[in-house]
Structure 1
Amino acid sequence: MIASPRLRIPTFGLSGGTLPVALGLLVIAFWVIAAATVQFWPLDPPLDMVARRLQPPSAEHWLGTDALGRDVLSRTLHGARFSIPIAVLVVVAAALIGSLLGALSGFFGGILGAAVMRLVDVTLAFPPILLAMAVAASLGPGLENAAIAMVVVWWPLYARLMRAQVLEVREREHVEAAVAAGAGPFRTLFVHVLPLCWTPVMVNATMDFGQVVLLAASLSFIGLGATPPTPEWGAMISDGARSFYHWWIAFGPGLAIFVVVLGFNFVGDGLRDLLDPRTD
């Protein structure tokens, strides 16, 4: 009996664990470059009505046109100029605010620690999407207000994570030796404790980039994020959702969100395996 040959997938010299990370980095690099340079690409202007409305994908317009005759491919690529910077801004701001408050709470404890953690508990008691919707609705539509709403939702996660790390690291011998040598509390915290606490925060932040892109699109989808005619992915999907028969309007931005979230998840998993010695 002749055995059937096995299917071999080319990995280009990469192992099974590093291949998803490499793919994720390529995806992220593409969208970052697109966000920075797409205005110089030979594309139709994203706000101009360049063709007949609701044209299906063709050789001239690869992803068709929307209800106003605007090129969907151009609008999808230009959408990276809004979705990617918003994700970076929200994750960096939430990580800095949450990590600082969590570090102070875990290191000093007392009234400060109790106050911070009660605020964290109250914030985390609400589903993230509902809390983001409530904050964004109170501030009004717009990408800036949506970013503020997402920071309000995300910073408690980093505060709790950093507090747990600080509580563990502050009991180590080198920290006790620094205190015995006369190091002040803030020097001990920022020099001897925090440098050992950033690994989980970095991994978590990498995973959160994709989730923030998804949440920003969700807020825009329901009218609490980007306002027309901004070519933002969630707003574009909202336009496409009004007509089932014109599927291409939502396909482009939906695929962009899927690929970006998948890319950041691949990179986050790779960083976790690389930086966390407790993983296999």
Structure 2
Amino acid sequence: MRELNLDQLRTLVTIVEHGSFIAAARILHLAPPTVSLHINELEERLGIPLLLRKRKKVEPTGAGAALIDRAQWLLNQSNALREHMQLHAAGKTGRVRVSAATPVIAYLLPKALERLAQKHPGIEVELAVLNSREAMDRVAKGLLDIAAVALPQSPMPEVQVLPWRKDPVVALIPAHWEHPKQASAAWLATKPLILNDDTTQLARITTEWFAAANLRPPAKIRVNYNDSAKSLVGAGYGATLLSYETLHPQIDQRIKVLPLNPPLWRPMGIASRSGPLEIAVRHVLEELKRI
């Protein structure tokens, strides 16, 4: 059996509610022959009479009455779905999938999400912690809407990456160490180093920064989580290099923060699908750009 047609069900319900084919045609803005065609096709599809055509009023058969009860539920669900999609189209509701590294989610996104909730309470943001490479791949496949990524990124079809922010990289050292006012590559290379996992963009730019001074210091340990690196520094295990936005809230008093000499910057971008974006996605992008 072919699937039931909602327009035909709506015609059936309207005929019974208003008692005639003519009234239904007027209410549904259909030509009377179209109303008759809807009922004929529906009865043929189901193989059973649905209406009793009396002289003054049309009434449902037993099967017709049973169908109308179920049809009304389907039509209500259809109307609710249409209204929900209209809210999506207007940007008043929606689910936006966002990914970023843990420090960005922990220290940068909360204010943006708070502003978003105040302006657009119907928009839900689903957060995921992904590295930049995986996030770019998911944006390209349509599995993510927005990704905060380290720059630069290799171009990918159907993905646009806009510059977002540029944060300084700083040295974190145990506070009891004797230290200069600024940390140079040569000075840090003499210290035990706690470095980022070598698959990350931060590890890449840190390696390039040391290489510019003809240095390739080994890492005493490599960690995947910035909070782990900070804990190790606070415990006196060694020094690390992290981007400045990871230092909030107030850093451990056992840790001293030194600017780098020469300066090193960690640029970041926002990746999204190329072309027109849903209004809800645009609302989230607007708040992210304000960070």
> Which structure dedicates a bigger proportion of its chain to helix?
1
- Common fold by TM > 0.5: no
> Which structure dedicates a bigger proportion of its chain to strand?
2
Give the TM-score band, short-chain normalised: under 0.3
